[in-house]
Amino acid sequence: MSLEDVYKRNLQHRTHRAGWLRAAVLGANDGLVSTASLMIGVAAAGKEEFLLTAGLAGITAGAMSMAVGEYVSVKSQNDVEASDRVLEMEHLAIDPEAELMELQHIYIARGLTPELALQVAQEMHKKDALEAHLRDELGQHPHTKARPVQAAIASAISFTAGGLIPFVGAFAPTIGAKFWSIVVFTLGGLLITGVVSARLAGARIFTPTVRVMLGGSLGMLITAGIGKIANISGL
């Protein structure tokens, strides 16, 4: 098998999508549920004149919030990884022998004999000691490295795309029709989100899709109930 064949086989794995898949799925699901819940709550409260405004404001605010939140959280993760990198460099400079023994014990724990583990650790140190420790000791891999800008853009775009689905449902002719149109559009969007995310992750379709739809339905149900209470109370 050639190196090119090995590279193609590695591309079949899904771990290289981890940097953006979580943010995109979370953004789309949040866009659907939060926008639909907001609009359903407004409709249930009898404030149909504010329905489109509330939906548009919810999409805009949510997309910005998701982008900033993803960037800050992922950037914090990068800061932790960078700090660990500096610390590992200091350890290698101060006591390289102890670090070599540490790497040997890692390989022994993975099933190698002490002799072979020491030989592998020595070869890893010769090639790139820091890379070996970051990968095998700390679990840092380039293909799973979190990317803050990518995550922020993915979450903002997916939130907007998700939020536009229930927003379209608000163009039904009557308030009752608007309510159920938003619900139907949102359930359809949740179905698509569940299927797509499951396929991208290489998981079975049924369970993740049902989980997404049940969670979204619960969010809409609770918000509709609160909106109805607000309408009865005259708030």
| Segment 63-79, tens digit of pLDDT | 999 899 889 988 888 88
pLDDT for residue 138: 83
How much of the chain exceeds pLDDT 70, in percent?
Answer: 86
More confident call, 15 vs 217 = 217
The answer, yes or no, to whether residue 233 has pLDDT greater than 80, is no
Q: b or e along 26-38 (b: 16 or more beta carbons within 10 Å of the residue's beta carbon)?
A: bbbbbbbbbbbbb
Confidence of residue 53 (pLDDT cuts 50, 70, 90): very high
More confident call, 89 vs 200 = 89
Query: pLDDT tens for residues 93-102?
Result: 999 899 999 9
CA dist 84 and 46 (Å) reads 54
Confidence of residue 201 (pLDDT cuts 50, 70, 90): low
Global model pTM greater than 0.75: no
State the sign of the Cα–Cα–Cα–Cα dihedral 207, 212, 216, 218. positive
The answer, yes or no, to whether residue 41 has pLDDT greater than 60, is yes
Query: pLDDT tens for residues 15-37?
Result: 444 555 666 777 888 899 999 98
- CB neighbours of 73 closer than 8 A, spacing ≥ 6? none
pLDDT for residue 21: 64
**CB distance 58 to 165 below 8 Å:** no
The answer, yes or no, to whether residue 218 has pLDDT greater than 80, is yes
CA dist 133 and 80 (Å) reads 15
pLDDT for residue 5: 44
